[in-house]
Amino acid sequence: MSKPFAWSYSSLTAFETCPRRYYETRVAKTIVEPQGAPLLLGNAAHKCLELRVSRGTPIPKLIQVTATDGSTVSQSSEGWETMIKAILSKADDSTETVVERQICLDDRFCETDWFSKTAWVRGVIDLGLIKETKALLVDWKIGKRRLDSDQLQLFSALAMHVWPKLERVVTGFVWLKNNDVDKQEFTRADIPEIWERFLPRVKRMKQAFDASTWPERPSGLCKHWCPVTTCPHNGGYES
């Protein structure tokens, strides 16, 4: 029996980039994408920051990883401790601090278990401070700075469903290469509009899922950056 349909922000955007690639790598899993050094670096940075906030573990001065192809990348953590302290200084005794908090909603926007059969949308809050009617949600980013308001909107909506007292949510990306911050503020009044924007996109993804229709969508990725080498548009993969 096929798995029930569920989505996340990354699966939605992967589907929209190219349904065929999404299908091969994330639904049928006929192709296992090698985990490149940048992805591993992002995972390692997330882990360091999670341990720093949850257990007080000092952040190493240099985060370094080696991928399976032997390539190595590293990232200085200069400024991260100062930034963490500045964020955590906003918390007091009445603040709920969450780290790597998994949020899973069913299609009636009620929270459910991450692996529930009724799971509909999933997201993970890297760091969140929830205080009465206000929240600050942080998403660590290791890649190139690019403001993605859609993701910030989705995370604010997820949080407002999970914490019903919230009236105002500030969500932000912290760009770990330069410690830059992009943030936006949303209120509960924004929720209907946020879902109005997401639901047609999710509907298209579900229709593809139900009909098992995964068309190719050629783009600049085809030339060297797509592992689906059986696709006629593929120009040769450079992992």
Q: Residue 196: is it exposed, middle or buried by C-beta count within 10 angstroms (0-12/13-18/19+)?
A: exposed
Q: Does 27 bind ligand SF4 (CB under 6 A)?
A: no
Written as six digits, the tokens of 14 are 């992967």
By beta-carbon proximity to ligand SF4, the closer residue of 20 and 101 is: 20
By beta-carbon proximity to ligand SF4, the closer residue of 155 and 214 is: 214
The answer to whether 137 and 95 are in contact (CB under 8 A) is: no
Instruction: Count the Cβ atoms, other than its own, within 10 Å of residue 181.
Output: 12
In terms of DSSP bridges, do strands 7-8 and 121-131 run parallel, antiparallel, or are they unpaired?
A: parallel
- Distance CA(170)–CA(91), nearest Å, equals 14
Q: What angle do CA 68, 29, 10 make, to 5 degrees?
A: 85
What ranges in the chain are assigned the alpha helix state H? 9-17, 19-22, 37-55, 80-88, 149-162, 191-211, 221-224
The least CB distance from residue 11 to ligand SF4, in Å, is 15
The least CB distance from residue 36 to ligand SF4, in Å, is 16
The least CB distance from residue 226 to ligand SF4, in Å, is 3
Q: Does 21 bind ligand SF4 (CB under 6 A)?
A: yes
- Mask: binding to ligand SF4, 188-217, rule CB under 6 A, as x and -? ----------------------------xx
| Residue selected from 7, 9, 12, 20 as contacting ligand SF4 according to rule CB under 6 A | 20
From 78-86, 143-151, 159-167, 219-227, give the range in contact with ligand SF4 by CB under 6 A: 219-227
Q: How many helices (H) and strands (E) does the chain have?
A: 7, 8
By beta-carbon proximity to ligand SF4, the closer residue of 56 and 220 is: 220
Q: Which amino acid is at 109?
A: F
| Residue selected from 6, 18, 138, 142 as contacting ligand SF4 according to rule CB under 6 A | 18
By beta-carbon proximity to ligand SF4, the closer residue of 16 and 78 is: 16
The answer to whether 202 and 195 are in contact (CB under 8 A) is: no
With DSSP H G I counted as helix, E B as strand and the rest as coil, what are the percentages for the chain, rounded to 5? 35, 25, 40
Q: Which amino acid is at 63?
A: I
Q: Does 228 bind ligand SF4 (CB under 6 A)?
A: yes
Q: Does 125 bind ligand SF4 (CB under 6 A)?
A: no
Q: Does 233 bind ligand SF4 (CB under 6 A)?
A: yes
Q: Does 222 bind ligand SF4 (CB under 6 A)?
A: yes
User: How many amino acids of this chain bind ligand SF4 (CB under 6 A)?
Assistant: 13
By beta-carbon proximity to ligand SF4, the closer residue of 41 and 222 is: 222
Residues that bind ligand SF4 (CB under 6 A): 18, 20-21, 216-218, 221-222, 226, 228, 231, 233-234
